[in-house]
Structure 1
Amino acid sequence: MEAVKISPKFQVVIPKKIRESLQLKSGQKMQIIEYDNRIELIPEQDIASMQGFLSGINTDIERDRDRL
């Protein structure tokens, strides 16, 4: 765990080790969530990078007739 300071403009710098580990890029958008008395930053992914992430998922489930 690394400590960061909040600037007078309420900005923080993500440590280099974390930026590299998560392959974050300058200008990349992040989702910010307040959860359980903490702040979580979640990198947004563009839709093209998500193509095929559900391939191989088992779709053999019982469905209601109105959901076919």
Structure 2
Amino acid sequence: MSETAILSPKFQIAIPAKTRAARGWQAGQVFALIPKGAGVLLMPVPERDELAGIAKGASTAGYRDRVNRI
């Protein structure tokens, strides 16, 4: 997927419809802009309820508690 967009005089970029549809992005969705070399990585910020259960079954072995910090 190699589409382009133009930065408007108001510093806005319209994301092409094919890209939005392929990613399932919706109007009003919040994104994080992460500097990456000479560019910027655009990542959707998940809703709080989407994060529920993502660490289920994660191993806590080797976890450092606040007590043993320097």
Q: TM-score w.r.t. structure 1 length? A: 0.78
SS at 2:43 equivalent: strand
Q: What residue in structure 2 maps to residue 42 of structure 1?
A: 43
1:27 counterpart = 2:25: no
SS in structure 2 at match of 1:59: coil
Q: Percent of aligned positions with the same letter in both sequences?
A: 30
Alpha-carbon offset, residue 59 of structure 1? 2.5
Q: Which runs of 5+ in 1 are unaligned?
A: none
Return the letter of the residue paired with 2:41: E
The TM-score with structure 2 as length reference comes to: 0.76
RMSD between aligned residues: 1.9
Determine the C-alpha separation between the residues in 2 that align with 1:15 and 1:6.
13
How many equivalent residue pairs? 66
Q: CA deviation at 1:42?
A: 1.0
